[in-house]
Chain A
Amino acid sequence: MTTLVATIEGIGYWSRGLPSWEAARAFATNGAVPADPPARPLPQLLAPNERRRAPETVAVALDVALAACAAAGREPSSLPSVFASTHGDLSITDYMCTTLTGDPRTVSPTRFHNSVHNAAAGYWTIGAGAMQPATAISAYDATFAQGLLEAMVQLAAGHEAVLLVGYDGGSAGPLARISPSEGLLGAALVLSSAPGDGWPQLRVSLDDGAADAVGGALAQRDQANAMAQMLPLFDALAVGQRLAVLKAGHGRVLRVEIGHV
C-alpha cells in the first residue's frame, strides 16, 4: 500500500496515576510516578453541570484531546476528530441491560444518549465549539490502528491537521467477564500534514504479521485496559524507539515508523 506520512504536533495522555504525557514519559523512561495524582480526568471544556453528568470515558477522552491540542498550539474548534474506542462505555451498557431486564420504562434519557459510541465525539464538538467533522469507530483489538489510519487518510484528503483520540474505561457487572477492561485510559495525538518542526514524523503502512507480545512500561502497566492496544506507539514515542507495530485485525498489523527529532 501507499505509505502515509504525518507529523505529531501534540500528545495527550491520562491513566490513573499518570495524568499527563509528561508523567507517562517519565514513567516509561525511569519508572517515576507523580505524587497525589488526580483520581479523575477533568473535562475542562464542559460546563460544570455537564462535567458532572459526563461518563468517565467521555471525561478521559476530552482531557487528553484538550491536552494534545494545547501541546500542538491548535485551536480545538479548528480540528476534525477521530474517536477510537473498543467498547465505548461498558458501565453504561451494563446499566442499560440491567434496567431493560428490570423496568425498561425507567431507562434514563441522559444515560441513553450517553450510550451512543460517539458520546465522547459529541461532547467534544459541543465543548470545543467544533463544527468540523467528527467520527467514532471501533475495530475490536485493531481499533486504535484503524483510527490512526482514518486520521492519516483524512490528512491525505486535504485536512491540514486532525485530532485522534483513543480511550476505554472499566467494565462492570456480568459483562465484565465477557468484555473485560480495567482502569481508565486515554491518549490523543494531533497529527498534521505540515512538515514537522521539532516533532516526531510518522510513516504508516499495513502489513501481514503479529504485534509485539511484550510491550514497554506503559503497555505493561495498563495491559488490562481494552485500549492497551495503542500503547506500543506511546511507549515508542516516550523512549525514542523507531518502530511500533500495532494490531490491525486478524493477522494484519499497522507498522508505524517514527522519525524522532
Chain B
Amino acid sequence: MKFKKYISVIVLIFVTSFTFSQVKFEAKVSKKKLGINERLRVDFEMNQDGDNFNPPNFSGFAVIGGPNQSVSNSWINGVRSYKKTYSYFLSPKKRGNFTIDQATIVVDGETYKTTPIKIAVTAAIDKPKDPNDPDYIASETIHLVAEVSKSNPYLNEAITVVYKLYVSPNTGVTNWNEIDSPRYNDFWSQTIDTKGQKVENGTYDGEDYRFLVLRKAVLYPQKTGKLNIEPLSLDIAVQVPTNRRDIFGGRMMTTVHKTVSAGNKSINVKALPEAGKPIDFTGAVGDFSFNVTTSKTALNASESLQAKVEVRGKGNLKLFNLPKIALPSSLEVYEPEHAENVRTNLSGMQGSISDTYTVVPQYKGKYPIPKISFSYFDLKTKTYKRLSSNEIVIDVLEGPLNNAIETGEETSTGNAKQRVVLNNDQFAFIKTKTSLASVKQNHFFKTPIFWSALLLPFLVIPLAIVIRKKKATRDADVFGNRMRKADKLAKKYLSNAKKSLGKKEAFYIALEKALHNYLKAKLQIETSDLSKDKIQVLLTEKGVDADAVKDFNSILESCELARYTPITIVTMQEDYNKAAQTISLIDKQAR
C-alpha cells in the first residue's frame, strides 16, 4: 500500500514537471488609486486549477459584479499554459486607505495566498474615467512640457525654453504638427535647430517615459515685469492599445488625434538696479571684454587705416549699441561698418560684435584716439562694470601741415613762424575753483526783517521832528532854564552836603567846603586868603549884588555857628536850599 503511494507520487511529479514547474496565485487590481465614484476591478489569477477558492471580505468595498470565472488554456510550441481568473468589480463605500486582504486557494492540498494590496480612495473625480477610452489613455500617456531655465531673470538676461514631448512606453506617436506656435512678445528670441533629435529615455512624474525635444528657444526679455510665454500647441496622432486582440494574440492599436499644449508660463523680469548705473550704460548684460584696435599706428597722410571697436563675450550681443569712437576732427572718418559674429546656443549669444571705422588722415601730426568706455551689467556679481579702452596715438609721418593750409602758406616752409591768433569760438574749459553753497536758499524779500527795514526808517522822521520841537520849547522857557542851571550847579557842588543831610556836623562841614570850592572855581582864589571881607570885595568887584553877597556870608556864618548850636533838620534843609539859590544867583550875576 505504501509502495503504491510512492509510485503514484513519483508519477505525479513526473507528469506535473512536464507541464509546469511552480504554482502562481496572485491578485491584480486595475488601479491603486481611484475616486469614490469610480469602479475597481480585482483579478485573482492562478496558473493551476485549484479548489476551495476563498475570496477576501473586501472591507470598505461593495461587490457589484463577480465573481466571474474565466479559464484559458493554450498550447504554444507544445507548452501548455493554463490560466484561471476570478474577477470581482468593486465600488468603494467611503474615502480612505483600504487593504484588499489575502485570498486563499488550495492546489493539490497546498494552501496558497495572495499578497494584500493597498488601495487609496480619493474624493470624487469630475468625470469617471473609462480606463478603456483611447482619448483617456492618450491624455494619460502623452505630455508636452515647457521647461524654462529661470523664472526671474534680469532684463536682457538669457533664458531658455525647451519643449519636450513625453510619451509613455506602451503608446506610440505616429505624426504630429504644430497648431499654434508661440510668439515671444516682449522677448528677443531665437529658436535653436532641433532637427535630428533622438528619442531619449527619461522619467515623468516618477514613471519611465520616452521623450523628444521638440523645440528649443533662447529668449532675452526686453521688458520688466510679468511676461507671458505663450503655450505651444500640437496636434498629435497617438496609437493607443485597445482591449481587442488580433488573431495572433497581439493587442490591436487605435489611432487617436490629441491636442496637447504646454501650459502658459509666466516669468517675472527684474529691472537692472538703478544704483550705480553708469552714465554710458547702453543695456549690455552679460560678460564681455572690450577693446579698440587700429590696423596701423604709423602711416602717411591720405592712406587709410581701420579703427575697430569690438565687444566680445557672452550676453545680449545683438541688443545694445557699441560706444562711438570720437576722433579728432582733422581726421576724415567714414561711417562705421557693423559686423556681428554671434552664435546662439542654449546658453545664449556668444561671439563678438564690432564697428570698423575707416579713417583717412589729412595732415601730418599725431592724433590721439581718446579713451572710450563701455559699461555692462555683470550677472555673476550683479554689478555694473566699466571697461575702458587704451588711448591709441596715430602718427602720421608724411603729409601736408594742417596750419600751413589754414594760414595759406606754402607747405614746404614747415618751420615758418606762425601768428598766434586767439580763437574766440572755443569751447571753454571747466572751472577749477568753486565755492559751494547749500541748495536750499533763504530769500530776504518779503521777510519780516525786510518789511521792518523798509518801513521803520520812516518813523525816524516824526520822532526827530518831535525831539526838535521839544528842544525848542525848552530853549524858549527862560525861567525854567535858570532853575535848571541852579539845580545843575547845586548838584555839582552840594552833592556831598546833600548826602549828609541830617547829620549836623558832617553836613555843615560839607556845605562850607562846597561854598569854598565854588568860590575857588569861580573867583580863582586860594583857600588860604579866604576871609569874609575879601570874599565880599571880590564878589562886589565881579558885579554881584550886595544882597547875594550878604546871603553868601550869612550862610558861611551859619556854617560856623552850627557847630556849636543845636540845629534841626528843617533848618539844615533851609540852609541847603539857600546855598543852592545863592550859588546860582552869584553865578548869574558874576561876570
Q: Do A and B bind each other?
A: no
